[in-house]
Structure 1
Amino acid sequence: MSEPVCNYDRKIISVDEYEVLQQLGTTELVDRLAQKYLQWQTPYKQVLDSSRAPFYQWFSGGKVDIWQNTIGQHLHTRRRNKAALMWIGVDGRERIYTYHTLAYEVERLAMALINLGAKKGDKVLIFTPNLPETIVTMLACAQIGAIHINYHMAYSSESLAERLQDCQANYIVTADGCPQTSHKLKEKVNDALNKIDHQIKHCIVIERTGERVHMRPKRDLWYQDLITDEKYSRGATVDTVRAANHPLFMLYTSSKTKTAKAVVHNTAGFLMWAQFTTELLFDMDDRDIFWCTADLAWITGHTYGIYGPLSLGSTVFIYEGSISYANTSLFFDFLERFHITRMFSNPALLRSVMRAKKSRREEAKATNSLRLIGCGGGEIKADLYNWVLHALPKQGEIPLVNIWGQTESGGSLMANVPGTVGSKQNTRLRPLPGVKCRLVTKKGETITGHDEPGFLVLTNPLPSLCSDLYGDTKAYQSIYWDKFKRKNYYSTGDEAIRNMDGSYILTGRSDIALSSGAGNRKINEIEAVILSHERVKECAVVFIDHPTYGYMLLAFCVLKSYKDESYKDESLQAIKEHIIEESGEIALPDAIRLTKFLPKTPDNEINRPLLKEISLQMEGL
């Protein structure tokens, strides 16, 4: 059988233009992209100021109108009355916002926040399901200069409390609950606030389920009351002009620090890279209907679910819940009903859909409008690649775009850009324009050969990279820039192999983030929670491929003592309850096994590859 070939012709950034961009130096490229994708209120004096490296300053002296660079730019064009957002809830409720109606609600909430006392630099933590109000809140924060911090609703009140205390949030936006789930969000928020010394100014609650919740007088306010009461939603002056390096948002991520830390992303650099990579990777314009299956709380949801496509004038589709093997029929239903043209998902979800084995007729009907599938957050295996190119009705016409990025990077850094040379027969990752990669040894020595594993670093700064770790500048420098004792090397934390053609294969990382329908599960965070249990001496978490679910997460634990079988059973249950209490059900491994020891390497490190091999031989998984 011949190797599958994808015949895709680009429509936005031509192959010739892409090749030109690849030849540009980083500063020259960024200057060109900044002029193309951003409207400048005050022109910048310098593209890159490296005088305080690694605390790089991009677009020094420049100012942008955040409103005109996101939603506002569409209001005096034909896009004013086109759909900006199409949303469907887990209970089947549907809502559609045009750019005009979305802008109207954002402006009302922005004025309400100002009238409540919110100002530039204040922090707003968002703890909600995937709702239109979530997007409205993020855009309203951007409009007034407040920093939004999204946190996934599946996490526990203890985890939420830790982050509220760390970021010193001024406001929190949540919901009364989420239909068809056990997440009592307002109850979690109340519990979290009772655990910490820091007190917020206001808690804004979106009515989603209609459940009765405890509302503290004066502090807690209903979202709908705010945007409909003219006392709040009128009369405020909104200044939408921001310095290029003003923080736009923060996100908590896995890091090698003892406590939770949030990465900080700045306004101009993030917006520019979001638009550029959305246009480049998805070949997308304002005629497209785009579905990013990632939760809005993740960086993927920020970049490719909101800011990228909305800034380009596309229509965004949002589903409140998540797609899994149990409800794959929704995947095809949404594609057909909403005429999705381009989407971004993850291997676990796509494998679940692939295993659902829909009839050829059903797949053809559902995917009639689909033109491109982006995929990130895991390895794309041959069967998945072949399914997209051969099994889906439009054989060889729908490219599967392999995308790699990180929370810290603000967007994609490598991909097999659709329609370009080298992308037609495989999904190998290639650095995007402006991204300079290198493989190094533990000592920071450059690996020049091919097919040799090494640590993946960036040899140049990028405007989309996080600018700091909130409240811990020293950790930011030591984790990302000083690991190899060279301040011009940015450590991605990933290991990789470089192929003869210059493409890369990622081989893993210690804090690997696994994408699933529910969200991201980070191995080192789960291990840290398990190790904090008083009965656990050692633990290791590994993932293995699963034919139906994409992957499974397994935890191996060594107890400090073994008394009898009942003690082991009791310990196992206690560990599970501890994980849920500390981090929420989202962090619970698919299986936990107790063992008397963990296999080690000659360097006395846990032998994770061997654990994975052992896992594959285990029964009952």
Structure 2
Amino acid sequence: METCIGSGIRFEDTGLACFIRRYGYVDLAGLHAGAATAPARFWAEVAETLGLRWTRPYERVLDLSDGPAWAHWFVGGELDLHDNLVGRIAREDPDRPALLWEGDDGSVRQHGYAELDDEARRLAAGLASLGVARGDRVAIYLPMVPEAAIVLLACARLGAIAVPMFSGYGADAVATRLRDSGAKVLVCADACLRRGRRLDMLIEARRAAETSPALADLVVVARPGDARPALSGSRRWRETGYRDLIDASAPQAGAAPHAADVPLMILYTSGTTGRPKGVVHTHGGFTLKAAQDMLMAFDVKAGDRIGWITDMGWMMGPWLVFGGLLRGASLMLFEGTPDHPRPDRLWQLIERHRLTHLGLAPTLARLLMAEGEAALPGPGALASLRVFGSTGEPWNEAPWRWLFERVGEGRRPIINYSGGTEIGGGILACFPGLPQKPCGFAGPIPGMVADVVDAGGQSLHAAGAPAVSAAAEVGELVLRAPWPGMAAGFWQDEARYLDAYWSRLPGVWVHGDWARLDDDGHWFIQGRSDDTLKVAGKRVGPAEYESALVGHPLVREAVAIGVPDAVKGETAVCFVTTASGTPSADAWAESERALRHHLAACLGKPLAPSRVHRAAALPRTRNGKILRRLVRAAYLGEPLGDLSSLEDPAAIDAIRACRESVTVGV
């Protein structure tokens, strides 16, 4: 697989290269080695480069007295996070755009840094008048609107703990998180727009509030242009209009310092079973990690304009806010659907808001690629864009090349970025100006001491070196040292946190992804390790099946799972949506035979799947990530677990319907 490089950026001009020169690391390999051997020095340099201002200097960068799972960072230090993110720029460059917003219907709004500073201070005062104090939880149930970022900032000022939630949740999912966090206030929207349809969120918020005994207040954000919603005073909780609260509050004056290790947010992630995991992040750790990744992996500079197709309930939403503002960037928040009303909507966003950086999930690229010429940008639409970002799932080569070559004209790197909610950012990334391979990663982000190990914890490659052989054996992705952005545990569940990441290998974070290195030292994620198939004794990632399938002209998107098999132990079953038309049952039998032959040719006959099903839809989140665990559970008739992130419940029925298909032999 040949290497590619976006020719529009020289590595020597990037923030990462400047960091290497400033601190005398010679090259990127030297930086990785230095960060691993002297982590306290490295992370102090990161904090200095990012311009973090401390109201009380820290005494120690790192304290490991409680072990790596409970590392303490910037011990004794205090910082005013709001001032670091907004206040300093509001004083120095008040009119610099901070938030750029576009709604589903094309309406736009903009907040400068001074305006954002004022509104966040007013909201902090308003929340304080409702009784919110340090340590109280404030839940956020909003679409991607400016108010979502403003609530995060107001909570940071107060030392309250923000609980962002996916805007597509129904009442039950919202209530689960309200009860688990013990949230005192819920800031919700009256409605949002999706594909031109108005969805009433206030109804869901009120239903959730009815079963959340700790909740005292609903603060309701009206859509721009809406009449202020009718608020009820007869319920167990109070209801207050967001704008009423802002207008009645004077800006909270003075500094708002908090210790670096004070909880900033609880970010919930869905589990296969049981209640969602509440990942705790801190003032100093999450913000520093997000901004470091923006600097080193994405080359985000002050004044750049960055947008990410996400939701505030996913990690990338708060990552965009805290990391982007600390970098002094302008953030584009998009409420709508990126292919509505036309497949080229995404590129129109870049052109209208003059974005320098745009992030998206691989699934979105696959969906747009299937639209053909209608999904390509018009002349000059990407003139401002320097970098694509990508996270959420592994790539397939065909859509990667479509985005890099057809859309980006081979001049804009795709910064493949993989980490997670518990990481506070990324583990692996590409780097602007350095060679990249389709679907791969250049390596770990500096400071992330990553390795690939076998079942016994032994490294499958020499540290920092290319893979031992061309076979590039797949193993578990692990981290051998803590980092500031790591989870400060799970909310009120320390045992579950330790079991999830620290129980398998002593002192080592086991991330749950399969990974491999190739002979050139490029890294590849093969999917979640609990998704990996073992067919006739050979371990294979579902991404290998999915990449081969989407490379076939018949297939639009694909997902592969492993199911029990009496002979092989496990066999692959694949599900596809088709690129054009809906073949009849007889026609599909022939198509399935062709696809199974295609996979046998690509992967080897022993790995050929037992079935390739045509599905009407695949279960996915609203930002496009396919939920492979739900595909497997629905197909095998197992408990589905947490469905709160599922966009379309009918997709589950589509998978169940596949079981009625007749087996076709190769």
Q: TM-score when scaled to structure 1? A: 0.81
Distance (whole Å) between structure 2 residues aligned to residue 184 and residue 541 of structure 1 = 38
**Aligned residue for 1:504?**
523
- The structure 1 residue matched to 2:14, chosen from 1, 9, 12, is 12
**Aligned residue for 1:215?**
232
* Secondary structure at the counterpart of residue 364 of structure 1: coil
Distance 1:495 1:364, change over 3 A: same
Distance (whole Å) between structure 1 residues aligned to residue 149 and residue 206 of structure 2 = 23
Distance (whole Å) between structure 2 residues aligned to residue 411 and residue 2 of structure 1 = 28
What RMSD in Å do the two structures reach over aligned CA positions? Answer: 3.4
- Is structure 2 residue 281 aligned with structure 1 residue 271? no
* Secondary structure at the counterpart of residue 327 of structure 1: coil
**Aligned residue for 1:453?**
474
- The structure 2 residue matched to 1:65, chosen from 80, 95, 99, is 80
Distance 1:29 1:360, change over 3 A: same
Deviation (angstroms), 1:5: 4.1
**Aligned residue for 2:441?**
428
Deviation (angstroms), 1:551: 7.7
**Do 1:388 and 1:399's aligned partners in 2 also have CA atoms closer than 8 Å?**
no
**Aligned residue for 2:423?**
409
Distance (whole Å) between structure 2 residues aligned to residue 210 and residue 301 of structure 1 = 28
Deviation (angstroms), 1:227: 0.4
- The structure 2 residue matched to 1:114, chosen from 122, 128, 137, is 128
- 2:239 alignment partner AA: D
Distance (whole Å) between structure 2 residues aligned to residue 187 and residue 433 of structure 1 = 45
**Aligned residue for 2:148?**
134
- In structure 1, list runs of 5 or more residues that go unmatched: 515-522, 528-539, 561-574, 598-613
**Aligned residue for 1:24?**
34
Q: How does 1:272-351 map to 2 (within 5 A)?
A: 272-303=288-319, 305-324=320-339, 327-351=342-366
Distance (whole Å) between structure 1 residues aligned to residue 77 and residue 372 of structure 2 = 53
Distance (whole Å) between structure 2 residues aligned to residue 617 and residue 149 of structure 1 = 49
- Is structure 2 residue 655 aligned with structure 1 residue 592? yes
Distance (whole Å) between structure 1 residues aligned to residue 662 and residue 440 of structure 2 = 28
- 1:458 alignment partner AA: L
Distance (whole Å) between structure 1 residues aligned to residue 664 and residue 431 of structure 2 = 37
Deviation (angstroms), 1:120: 0.8
**Aligned residue for 1:48?**
62
Distance 1:315 1:583, change over 3 A: closer
- The structure 1 residue matched to 2:108, chosen from 81, 94, 119, is 94
Aligned residue pairs, count = 554
- The structure 1 residue matched to 2:393, chosen from 367, 374, 378, is 378
Distance (whole Å) between structure 2 residues aligned to residue 201 and residue 472 of structure 1 = 24
**Aligned residue for 1:33?**
46
Deviation (angstroms), 1:268: 0.8
Distance (whole Å) between structure 1 residues aligned to residue 49 and residue 663 of structure 2 = 50
- 1:253 alignment partner AA: T
Per-residue CA deviations over 1:514-554 (Å, capped at 9, x if unaligned) read 9xxxxxxxx9xxx9xxxxxxxxxxxx997758759988664
**Aligned residue for 1:567?**
none
Deviation (angstroms), 1:242: 0.9
Per-residue CA deviations over 1:292-350 (Å, capped at 9, x if unaligned) read 111122111111x2111122111111111221476323112212222112111111112
**Aligned residue for 1:201?**
216
**Do 2:3 and 2:436's aligned partners in 1 also have CA atoms closer than 8 Å?**
no
**Do 2:14 and 2:432's aligned partners in 1 also have CA atoms closer than 8 Å?**
no
**Do 1:109 and 1:226's aligned partners in 2 also have CA atoms closer than 8 Å?**
yes
Distance (whole Å) between structure 1 residues aligned to residue 340 and residue 284 of structure 2 = 39
Name the stretch that deviates more: 218-227 or 374-383: 374-383
Distance (whole Å) between structure 2 residues aligned to residue 270 and residue 490 of structure 1 = 18
- 2:220 alignment partner AA: V
**Do 2:356 and 2:386's aligned partners in 1 also have CA atoms closer than 8 Å?**
yes
Deviation (angstroms), 1:592: 2.1
Name the stretch that deviates more: 449-458 or 115-124: 449-458
Per-residue CA deviations over 1:471-503 (Å, capped at 9, x if unaligned) read 10111111111122x0x2001111112222333
Per-residue CA deviations over 1:94-147 (Å, capped at 9, x if unaligned) read 111111111111111011111211111110000111111111111111111111
- 1:593 alignment partner AA: R
- 1:52 alignment partner AA: D
Name the stretch that deviates more: 120-129 or 62-71: 62-71
Distance (whole Å) between structure 2 residues aligned to residue 389 and residue 558 of structure 1 = 37
Distance 1:144 1:587, change over 3 A: farther
Distance (whole Å) between structure 1 residues aligned to residue 648 and residue 101 of structure 2 = 24
Distance (whole Å) between structure 2 residues aligned to residue 496 and residue 425 of structure 1 = 15
Distance (whole Å) between structure 1 residues aligned to residue 218 and residue 375 of structure 2 = 49
**Aligned residue for 1:609?**
none
* Secondary structure at the counterpart of residue 469 of structure 1: coil
Per-residue CA deviations over 1:31-90 (Å, capped at 9, x if unaligned) read 21122221111111111111111211111111111122110120222x311211111111
Distance 1:483 1:594, change over 3 A: farther
Distance (whole Å) between structure 2 residues aligned to residue 51 and residue 287 of structure 1 = 40
* Secondary structure at the counterpart of residue 496 of structure 1: strand
Distance (whole Å) between structure 1 residues aligned to residue 453 and residue 33 of structure 2 = 23
- In structure 2, list runs of 5 or more residues that go unmatched: 22-26, 462-467, 532-541, 543-558, 563-571, 581-617, 619-623
**Do 2:395 and 2:439's aligned partners in 1 also have CA atoms closer than 8 Å?**
no
Distance (whole Å) between structure 2 residues aligned to residue 95 and residue 364 of structure 1 = 26
- 2:159 alignment partner AA: G
Distance 1:552 1:413, change over 3 A: closer
Distance 1:510 1:425, change over 3 A: closer
Name the stretch that deviates more: 354-363 or 233-242: 354-363
**Do 1:174 and 1:204's aligned partners in 2 also have CA atoms closer than 8 Å?**
yes
Q: How does 1:239-278 map to 2 (within 5 A)?
A: 239-255=255-271, 258-278=274-294
- 1:474 alignment partner AA: A
Deviation (angstroms), 1:178: 1.2
Distance (whole Å) between structure 2 residues aligned to residue 447 and residue 262 of structure 1 = 32
Distance (whole Å) between structure 1 residues aligned to residue 267 and residue 253 of structure 2 = 28
Distance (whole Å) between structure 2 residues aligned to residue 274 and residue 391 of structure 1 = 30
- Is structure 2 residue 216 aligned with structure 1 residue 153? no
- 1:22 alignment partner AA: H
- The structure 1 residue matched to 2:202, chosen from 180, 186, 192, is 186
Paired-residue identity, %: 28
Per-residue CA deviations over 1:129-166 (Å, capped at 9, x if unaligned) read 11111111111111111111111121121111111111
- The structure 2 residue matched to 1:356, chosen from 371, 374, 377, is 371
Distance 1:88 1:112, change over 3 A: same
Distance (whole Å) between structure 1 residues aligned to residue 663 and residue 2 of structure 2 = 31
**Do 1:291 and 1:316's aligned partners in 2 also have CA atoms closer than 8 Å?**
yes
Distance 1:188 1:361, change over 3 A: closer
- 2:139 alignment partner AA: L
Deviation (angstroms), 1:365: 2.2
Distance 1:411 1:543, change over 3 A: farther
* Secondary structure at the counterpart of residue 342 of structure 2: helix
Distance 1:466 1:172, change over 3 A: same
Q: TM-score when scaled to structure 2? A: 0.76
- 2:362 alignment partner AA: P
- 1:281 alignment partner AA: A
Distance 1:202 1:360, change over 3 A: closer
- The structure 1 residue matched to 2:412, chosen from 390, 393, 398, is 398
- 2:207 alignment partner AA: D
**Do 2:394 and 2:439's aligned partners in 1 also have CA atoms closer than 8 Å?**
no
Distance (whole Å) between structure 1 residues aligned to residue 166 and residue 377 of structure 2 = 33
Distance 1:359 1:443, change over 3 A: closer
Per-residue CA deviations over 1:586-609 (Å, capped at 9, x if unaligned) read 566362225779xxxxxxxxxxxx
**Do 2:190 and 2:202's aligned partners in 1 also have CA atoms closer than 8 Å?**
yes
Deviation (angstroms), 1:430: 0.7
- 1:127 alignment partner AA: Y
Distance (whole Å) between structure 2 residues aligned to residue 362 and residue 88 of structure 1 = 18
- Is structure 2 residue 247 aligned with structure 1 residue 224? no
- Is structure 2 residue 98 aligned with structure 1 residue 84? yes
Distance 1:188 1:359, change over 3 A: closer
